[in-house]
Amino acid sequence: MTDRAFAVVRAGALTTVQDLGRPGHAHLGVPRSGALDPPAARLVNRLVGNLPEPAVLETTLNGCAVRPRCEVTVAVAGAPCPVTVDGRPAAWGAPVRVPAGALLDIGPAVFGVRSYVAFGGGVAVEPVLGSRSTDLLSGLGPSPLADGAVLPLGGAPAGHARVDAVPHPAPPSELVLRVRFGPRHDWFTDAALSTLARGAYRVSSASNRIGLRTEGPCLERASNGELPSEGMVLGAVQVPPDGCPVVFLADHPTTGGYPVIAVVDERDLAAAAQSAPGIPIRFVPVR
């Protein structure tokens, strides 16, 4: 007897359930959350015949392994990684049929940080505020995957993918972030604005789903006063007391008291999510 679910054999460093997030609740202190690389999440759903909205798995660095209890079509994309079914190599970036009881192993990222795994029908955990996403900051949604956990799957999609594989951009070897200065750039010296635009920054190993932390030259303040807490947006470049900018990602706090020197173009945040520690960063001011 089979059922539409899968068991977690190896949870990996951090594997979470993610969909397109829960926008519209910032007034409640709830961030958008959702997949850090939305194009990759949409892609894997498309490959298995889902609509863009069903929940997928987001792995971090070393992948995960699961055992479906039913035959199911899966697809893996995002950070390139080895994929096997019962030890036999399977396709990355293409739909793969996995028999009931087989071991689907998503290996470590060869390049990049986060891989995405879609199942036909989606991961059908209980939604919270309209989303199945795990929010590490507020604690909403399902817990990160743990060995031995069993997660439900939705009903098999009626349609099929219209393509067998699609092109997908590789994770960047250099992260280029387009930014618009403000709203608190006047809290920094002219030299600090120049440093942000020209400085040699790198991705810090302390980065997570809340924010991409950087290593590099410190940004000097023109004002040393205290800023009252104010609303924070996705992509905000906040500067804490150590002077190193932090780019807010999907699980960011909705308010903060450190000044925001600039905001990153949302189109560049998927690449930020795939940038491994040590990758060089360039902040490029745009109008």
Which positions ≥6 away from 100 have C-beta within 8 Å? 2, 68, 69, 70, 71
Which positions ≥6 away from 145 have C-beta within 8 Å? 8, 11, 12, 15, 16, 17, 57, 64, 151
Name the percent of the chain lying above pLDDT 70.
97
Render pLDDT for 83-131 as a digit per residue (tens, 0 to 9): 999 999 999 999 999 999 999 999 999 999 999 999 999 999 999 999 9
Domains of the chain: 5-152 (no CATH), 175-285 (2.40.100.10)
Task: Tell whether the model's pLDDT for residue 1 goes beyond 80.
Answer: no
pLDDT at 172: 82
Q: What is the C-alpha to C-alpha distance for residues 235 and 270, in angstroms, rounded to an integer?
A: 11
Render pLDDT for 32-73 as a digit per residue (tens, 0 to 9): 999 999 999 999 999 999 999 999 999 999 999 999 999 999
pLDDT at 27: 87
Q: What is the C-alpha to C-alpha distance for residues 61 and 203, in angstroms, rounded to an integer?
A: 15
Q: How confident is the model at residue 167 (pLDDT cuts 50, 70, 90)?
A: confident
pTM of the model: 0.94
Render pLDDT for 9-31 as a digit per residue (tens, 0 to 9): 999 999 999 999 999 998 888 99
**Strand (E) or helix (H) holding 197:** helix 190-198
User: Mean of the pLDDT values across residues 255-274?
Assistant: 96
Render pLDDT for 169-221 as a digit per residue (tens, 0 to 9): 777 889 999 999 999 999 999 999 999 999 999 999 999 999 999 999 999 99
Range in 170-174, 246-250, 257-261 the model is least confident about: 170-174
Task: Tell whether the model's pLDDT for residue 164 goes beyond 70.
Answer: no
Dihedral sign from CA coordinates of 272, 171, 161, 98: negative
Which positions ≥6 away from 173 have C-beta within 8 Å? 279
The closest alpha carbon to 113, from 212, 18, 47, belongs to 212
pLDDT at 102: 98
Task: Tell whether the model's pLDDT for residue 133 goes beyond 70.
Answer: yes
